[in-house]
Amino acid sequence: SYEVTQTLSVSVALGQTAIITCGGNNIGDKGVHWYQQKPGQAPVLVIYSNTNRPSGIPERFSGSNSGNTATLTISRAQGGDEADYYCQVWHTSVVFGGGTKLTVL
Amino acid sequence: QVTLRESGPALVKPTQTLTLTCTFSGFSLTTSGMCVSWIRQPPGKALEWLARIDWDNDRHYSTSLKTRLTISKDTSKNQVVLIMTNMDPADTATYYCARTPRTSVGNWFDPWGQGTLVTVSS
């Protein structure tokens, strides 16, 4: 079965750039989607198909995908960005990463 | 505006069958390419996809849970129902439904319902 790996936690200083990664074998050949989940809330789609932002998602959120790593980048990080972030791909079935907890210092 | 809402029992006993209903608005499951999925999340743990039903009534299940799951739809009521048999305490989780557009560039979940917490305990 296909697995994707996420770093358990990432810390970023207020106003700096946060980078959250999702690793998988040749993940660059797949479409990767990213979700933000704040405590007690349902997940929210922030990036779909590697690089696309749904309407209402700030331009500070961007995505890329190449080789064995997909990346979610959050520029000018704000306190409101503190959340768990999950990547998701399709490989014969839906696969979620284990999630990355983002802390804004 | 697209909304989804899950409903069902908050507590079920081990070995019982769980029936959850997703009631949605703002889109139609008769539209080509439209689907609805169920995803769950045990407390403090990651997301796990369970099942998907497509506009053409095609159904897809998690490999590990397929023997216990049945998904169905009632387009006249804008509802999708998930049935999970032989419930176990390990199935304690928040269960979400989500709209899933099926496109040439992949499937994603947007938006999600608020979720419903199901506890399995005797």
Report the residue of B2, B36, B60, B109 to disrupt the A interface, i.e. the one with the largest count of A CBs within 10 Å.
B109
Residue A1: predicted pLDDT? 85
Residue A91: predicted pLDDT? 85
Chain A contacts in chain B segment 67-96 (CB below 8 A):
96
Report the residue of B38, B47, B59, B116 to disrupt the A interface, i.e. the one with the largest count of A CBs within 10 Å.
B47
Two tokens, residue B28: 């139609």
Classified as helix, coil or strand, B30 is: coil
Contact list in B for residue A94 (CB cut-off 8 A) is 37, 49, 52, 62, 107
- The pLDDT confidence band at residue B106, using thresholds 50, 70 and 90, is confident
**Is B104's pLDDT higher than 90?**
no
Nearest chain A Cα distance for residue B56, angstroms: 19
pLDDT truncated to tens, each residue of chain A (105 aa)?
899 999 999 999 999 999 999 999 999 999 999 999 999 999 999 999 999 999 999 999 999 999 999 999 999 999 999 999 999 998 888 999 999 999 999
With CA atoms as reference, report the closest residue to B59 among B33, B31, B35, B23. Answer: B35
Q: How far apart, in whole angstroms, are the C-alpha atoms of residue B91 and residue B12? A: 10
In this structure, is the dihedral angle defined by the CA atoms of residues B20, A38, A72 and A6, taken in order, positive or negative? negative
> What's the pLDDT tens digit per position in B5-28?
999 999 999 999 999 999 999 999
Q: How far apart, in whole angstroms, are the C-alpha atoms of residue B20 and residue B25? A: 17
The rounded Cα B110 to chain-centroid distance in angstroms is 13
* Residue B57 CA neighbour count, 13 Å, CB half: 3
Length of chain B: 122
With CA atoms as reference, report the closest residue to A30 among A98, A104, A97. Answer: A97
Q: How far apart, in whole angstroms, are the C-alpha atoms of residue A19 and residue B3? A: 31
- The pLDDT confidence band at residue B102, using thresholds 50, 70 and 90, is confident
Query: Are the beta carbons of A49 and B63 separated by less than 8 Å?
Result: no
Omega prior to B111 cis, within 30 of 0: yes
Q: How far apart, in whole angstroms, are the C-alpha atoms of residue A51 and residue A70? A: 10
Within 10 Å of residue A80's Cβ, how many Cβ atoms? 9
Nearest chain B Cα distance for residue A30, angstroms: 9
> What distances in angstroms separate CA A60 from CA A16, A45, A86, one per listed residue?
11, 14, 17
Query: Are the beta carbons of A35 and B109 separated by less than 8 Å?
Result: yes
> What's the pLDDT tens digit per position in B42-63?
999 999 999 999 999 999 999 9
Residue A50: predicted pLDDT? 96
B108: nearest CB among A30, A45, A95 = A45
Residue A34: predicted pLDDT? 98
Residue % of chain B over a pLDDT of 70 = 100
Nearest chain A Cα distance for residue B98, angstroms: 10
